């Protein structure tokens, strides 16, 4: 018999992986990656950050983000703008095309969340959410 702690972490990893794969299939149909969508979603929610600020917000290395931003620029979804405060700094902003893509992908993600919610009891989902939020806090404090 698998110990409860191991079952819990296996379910956590499996659920996370399944979510990513399900979302990735939808993103692929739109020609964008998970990393690209994460960046677009973050940019849609705030004023244009610097590349460094965006990397921190996304929890990724700056060098990794540069490649993602390069792909988003090439697709016409974001642009790099000079900072008014520091000319060495580049801010990252959504283009009109990028804002449209962020909205479409956000709708895709919402439909996936709704499909999940339709199959899981709301009380169980609320309890699971509380446990996962507590787990996040424990791990962030560790």
Q: Would you state the pLDDT for residue 103?
A: 95
Q: What is the pLDDT of residues 13-46, one digit of tens each?
A: 999 999 999 999 999 999 999 999 999 999 999 8
Residue 105 CB burial class (10 angstroms; 0-12, 13-18, ≥19): buried
Q: Per-domain residue ranges for the chain?
A: 20-141
Q: Report residues of the chain scoring pLDDT below 50.
A: none
Q: Would you state the pLDDT for residue 20?
A: 93
Q: Would you state the pLDDT for residue 53?
A: 93
Cα gap 101→106, rounded to integer Å:
8
- On whether the pTM is more than 0.75, the answer is yes
For 142, other C-beta atoms within 10 Å of its C-beta total: 5
Which of these, 7, 3, 77, lies nearest to 37 by C-alpha position? Answer: 77
Q: Residue with structure tokens 């460094």?
A: 52
Q: Would you state the pLDDT for residue 5?
A: 93
What's the CATH code, domain 20-141? 1.10.10.10
Q: Would you state the pLDDT for residue 124?
A: 97
Cα gap 47→118, rounded to integer Å:
34
Q: Would you state the pLDDT for residue 112?
A: 95
Q: Would you state the pLDDT for residue 88?
A: 86
For 116, other C-beta atoms within 10 Å of its C-beta total: 14
Taking the alpha carbons of 37, 38, 40, 44 in that order, is the dihedral positive or negative? positive
Q: Residue with structure tokens 């794969």?
A: 21
């Amino acid at each position: 018999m698998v110990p409860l702690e191991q079952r819990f972490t296996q379910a956590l990893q499996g659920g996370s992986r399944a979510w990513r794969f399900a979302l990735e299939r939808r993103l692929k149909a739109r020609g964008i990656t998970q990393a690209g969508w994460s960046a677009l979603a973050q940019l849609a929610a705030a004023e244009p950050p610097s590349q460094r600020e965006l990397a921190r917000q996304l929890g990724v290395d700056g060098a990794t983000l540069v490649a993602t931003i390069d792909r988003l620029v090439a697709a016409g979804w974001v642009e790099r703008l000079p900072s008014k405060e520091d000319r060495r700094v580049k801010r990252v902003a959504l283009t009109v095309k990028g804002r449209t893509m962020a909205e479409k992908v956000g709708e895709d993600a919402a439909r996936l969340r709704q499909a999940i919610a339709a199959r899981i009891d709301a009380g169980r989902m609320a309890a699971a959410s509380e446990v996962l939020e507590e787990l996040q806090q424990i791990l962030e404090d560790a």
